[in-house]
Amino acid sequence: MKTKKYANPQYIGDPINAVKIFNDLESDELVFLDIDAANEGRTISIDLVRQIGDEAYMPFGVGGGIKDVKTAADLIAAGAEKVILNTAFVENPNLVTDVALRLGNQSVVVAIDVNKTLFGSHYVFTKNGQKKTNIQPIEAAQKAIELGAGELILNFVPNDGMMTGYNLELIKTISSAVSIPVVASCGAGTLEHMKDAVLAGAHAIAAGSMFVYHGARRGILINYPSRVELINTFSNLYENNSHE
């Protein structure tokens, strides 16, 4: 499914078929999030994760309703490289530490969903972006590190599915305040948007709509940039950084 601003999910296709296509397109990494799991009191299907693991040629992370260490370990055993905690990070912060101790920091990712209030303030939201907390993004990011997370996924809900670019100021603020990799998400529409996110401080960049839609009418066509396109977009950036 693909959403806009975490609402109105549109059916894209069977996830296993999508994995096969992304295999052929040589994508770098995949993320699978069961967006309804936390609200429905369940966990992403371990059987589905096992099927994905059987098909995927690349590393992948999974999330959705993970509430205990055993489930996290079972998901890793099923083939996932990383487990992604979102609602549980807020409701049961010690779970991040417990999973990190069991599986290693590199296997624990905290996803921070950021939204803004009517007054323009930014806060962390849970339950697929539906429940506001009183936690500010930078506070959440620093707490995640203290608890043992090895990576952050930074989602800005108002930009989800809009394909108009990332929230660069948010990326800059969070990435400059933490010592672990920050993956920018929500808003990619072009490779230039991704380059902007890296320049803002993101260690990696994620996209959804950009890789499943094509053209102004947003026709469903799973796609991924070629190596040549990626090299042409990012080579100068990394060449410049190598001299610093």
Q: Could you tell me how many helices (H) and strands (E) the chain has, helices first?
A: 11, 13
Per-position b or e across 101-127, b if 16+ CB within 10 A of its CB: eebebebbbbbbbbbeeeeeebbbbbb
SS3 96: helix
User: Phi and psi (nearest 5°) for 205?
Assistant: -135, 140
Q: Which amino acid is at 81?
A: E
Q: Return the residue matching tokens 């059916």.
A: 11
For every residue of 26-68, DSSP letters joined together read T-S-EEEE-TTHHHHT----HHHHHHHHHH-SS-EEEESS--S
Write out the two tokens for 40: 């429905």
Beta strands 219-220 and 213-214 are antiparallel
160 as an active site residue: the answer is: no
Q: Which amino acid is at 144?
A: A
The catalytically annotated residue of 34, 113, 160, 196 is: 113
Q: Secondary structure of the chain: what % helix, strand, coil (to 5)?
A: 40, 20, 35
The DSSP 8-state label assigned to residue 30 in this structure reads: E
Write out the two tokens for 164: 């108009």
Residues with catalytic roles:
113
